[in-house]
A and B are shown apart, each in its own frame.
Chain A
């Protein structure tokens, strides 16, 4: 960005990026994967920074990498549209407002933690999170069962459970080992189409 006060094309572009990803961040309820249609709406339909095919390719690439999808997409698209500044700009627009909201709300909450009814509010929310986490667990198991079958899914889960919770192996080693196996083990012939 130049230092001039006029609304240069570069500056307008950064502003468009910021506003687009701010909207995506504020409307994106339900976590990263739920935000993808919003990203497509802004980036392909509204601003035409990418076409549909490029968007699909970038989404596929982002999915081959670990980490939250909702920061890889803005980061990459911001970089394409506005360089390094665009990358930082787009990522911050998505994540900053709600991080600040978290810090302020939870900060107030923990300051009054000693008050009985505030404490009650904190207790009331635990079972809700339990339900949400239980649903996620079921979703993941079900998706896994569709691809791997029940027997393999449950066996893998059981072995991982013994390693992590009974033997105290750090989950990073377990997950890392599986990732390495997925990457390095030969692919059966009928699957190796590409």
Chain B
């Protein structure tokens, strides 16, 4: 049942995803691309690029679009529901308990201990985007675009929306 799969695909990353929205991305990729095969690496990269160019949380944008792509409006609703509602209900329901433990070292180290794993999954995802880039745009274009994007984002702190826009223009003119 597609709605149940969509629910699980977004419920699991969000219920174990400590460390905010970006930490959830590789976990979502593992479900959407790796486990269920709803998207290829390139389509996932395109979705992520647009998601990074637009404001508001990345997790709900990804859920909304992937859900819609897989199963229409109903799919979008299910995926966004699975992203937002469980952790929000926990927060509303267990506020007193959480309040008492908010400084607890056990709670603090949860996100600390998960970080290396998320870092590795992010590195793996970086690698898969790299090999996808070589397959579709070729090594030269991939390295060129990546170098310019890295300088713009890291050195000049350019807004991601402009960098994505620049890559779209370059791709439209020189690739394809």
Contacts and interface: CB of A to CB of B under 8 A. Distances in A.
B88 A75 contact: yes
Interface residues of A, number: 97
B126 A137 contact: yes
Q: Binding site of B, secondary structure by majority: helix, strand, loop or mixed?
A: helix
Contacts of A175: 16-17, 27, 114, 117-118
B27 A123 contact: no
A165 B124 contact: yes
B127 to A, nearest CB: 9
Contacts of A140: 19, 23, 115-116, 118-119, 122
Given A60-B103, A66-B15, A123-B175, A79 B92 contact: yes
Interface residues of B, number: 107
B154 interface: yes
Given A76-B91, A156-B117, A128 B154 contact: no
Given A67-B15, A68-B59, A123-B171, 8 more contacts: A87-B88, A95-B60, A120-B172, A132-B160, A133-B125, A141-B116, A157-B117, A171-B121
Interface of B: 12-27, 30, 35, 42, 45-52, 54-61, 64-65, 68-69, 76, 80, 83-84, 86-88, 90-92, 95, 98-99, 101-107, 109-126, 129-130, 132-133, 136-137, 141-143, 145-146, 149-150, 153-154, 159-161, 163-164, 167-176
Interface of A: 25-33, 35, 57, 60-72, 75-76, 79, 87, 91, 94-95, 97-103, 105-106, 109, 116-138, 140-141, 143-144, 147-148, 152-154, 156-158, 160-161, 164-165, 170-172, 174-176, 178-179, 181-183, 185, 187, 191-194
